[in-house]
Structure 1
């Protein structure tokens, strides 16, 4: 009976001890004193995807990873770095997927062109069908 109790206790206590004891990032939830810099940081945060939640921006997410990213963005903005440079750094570190703003890389051109080509093909088919009906 004691063995079963010890195993159950170990089973339920282990996840509690696995929690991180790290303090939150300094600027995760604290705003920059300068309102203009905070607006820049907030605008950038709204265009960066949370890596944990995946369906929220880091500005809206409560995940610790998003808090760390918010803190890094605020610290870099306060250091004088431009938002686009920070975005480039985040994309280099986490990949294109981290940004909500689409890129125009040459490898993606077929994806951008496909809807236009399909629309053109559909219009040509529709035009041909209308001409066939007028003849009949």
Structure 2
């Protein structure tokens, strides 16, 4: 019985290890700078840049070869003395604003930033127009009196004693 328990524990441990999220760092040791301050700036910048291959993943997290090249490029620019803004401007000039994970507000991205608010406003306007067109609810109808039932039956051709038509 103890052998079965040990096997069950080993199997549970193996499943746990297989299901545990493994975060492999994309930044290789040969890419890292010796200066910790420059390395920290490089990591911060690479977290803000989108990998052109992986789409919605930063180049810091991506294992793609192009992401590696961009990480090396950022480190080269920082070692050359560029400021963070100069590195960002260089990459945007070279790859376009798409490379930024959080695009800046500008004339070309204004619609992108305003689209959610515009769509919400349009939906609100549409619902309010529909609500106004609907109007107030109809008054509740009252039960017909005996005289009204007789007039209705006569109008429908079902006078007293005629019964219903087949």
> What is the TM-score normalised by the length of structure 2?
0.56
Report deviation, 1:134.
6.8
Partner of 1:58: 59
Q: CA-to-partner distance for each residue in 1:32-83, whole Å, 9 max, x for gaps? A: 2222221111011011122333342211222222222111111211222111
Partner of 2:112: 111
Kept in 2, the 8 Å contact 1:45–1:57? The answer is: yes
Q: Which moved more, 1:117-126 or 1:33-42?
A: 117-126
Alignment partners' CA distance in 2, 1:122 and 1:112? 17
Say whether 1:125 aligns with 2:126: yes
Partner of 2:39: 38
Partner of 1:77: 78
> What is the TM-score normalised by the length of structure 1?
0.66
> What is the RMSD computed on CA atoms of the aligned residues?
2.3
Number of corresponding residues? 110
Alignment partners' CA distance in 2, 1:126 and 1:50? 40
Partner of 1:90: 91
Higher helix share: 1
Alignment partners' CA distance in 1, 2:69 and 2:29? 6
Report deviation, 1:95.
1.4
Alignment partners' CA distance in 1, 2:123 and 2:64? 45
Q: Which has the larger radius of gyration?
A: 2
Alignment partners' CA distance in 2, 1:120 and 1:85? 38
Structure 1's unaligned 5+ residue stretches are: 1-26
Structure 2's unaligned 5+ residue stretches are: 1-27, 138-166
